């Protein structure tokens, strides 16, 4: 099982961690939410838990809990800019449906 990040995502996370002044990486997870059932969750991590899986790309750590890993296997995390908008984009091969607004998904 694996999760990857594009160079744009790696650079953005590295800048955010440097700006924050602490942290080892970001946690990517899923939670029950939205009209399609699940939503992505991102948060800074100061210390990984023993049960976490840690992926590293470009010096940036991506931390995933065991429950979320099953839903995120094969996902690529990207950071995109479109006009005035910017944010993370998830390319998740496990997604079967997404809600109309793109905030939640179903596997």
User: What's the pLDDT score for residue 12?
Assistant: 94
Of 19, 17, 18, the closest CA to residue 45 belongs to 17
pLDDT digits (tens, 9 = 90+) for 29-56: 988 875 657 788 999 999 999 999 999 9
Percent pLDDT > 90 in the chain is 52
Q: What single-letter DSSP state applies at residue 52?
A: -
Q: What is the pTM of this model?
A: 0.81
Q: Find, among 26, 106, 101, the residue nearest to 71 by Cα.
A: 106
Long-range (24+ apart) CB contacts under 8 A made by 28-32 are 28/3, 28/62, 28/63, 28/64, 28/68, 28/72, 28/75, 28/77, 29/64, 29/65, 29/67, 29/68, 29/72, 30/67, 30/68, 30/71, 30/72
Q: Which residue has the tokens 């006009």?
A: 83
Chain position carrying tokens 């700006």:
19
Q: What pLDDT band is residue 96 in, cutting at 50, 70 and 90?
A: low
């Amino acid at each position: 099982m694996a999760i990857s990040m594009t160079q744009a995502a790696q650079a953005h996370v590295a800048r955010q961690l440097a700006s924050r002044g602490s942290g080892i990486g970001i946690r990517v997870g899923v939670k029950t939410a939205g009209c399609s059932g699940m939503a992505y969750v991102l948060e800074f991590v100061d210390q990984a838990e023993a049960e976490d899986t840690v992926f590293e790309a470009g010096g940036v750590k991506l931390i995933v809990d065991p429950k979320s890993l099953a839903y995120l296997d094969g996902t690529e995390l990207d950071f995109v800019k479109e006009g005035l908008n910017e944010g993370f984009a998830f390319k998740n091969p496990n997604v079967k449906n997404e809600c109309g607004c793109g905030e939640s998904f179903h596997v």
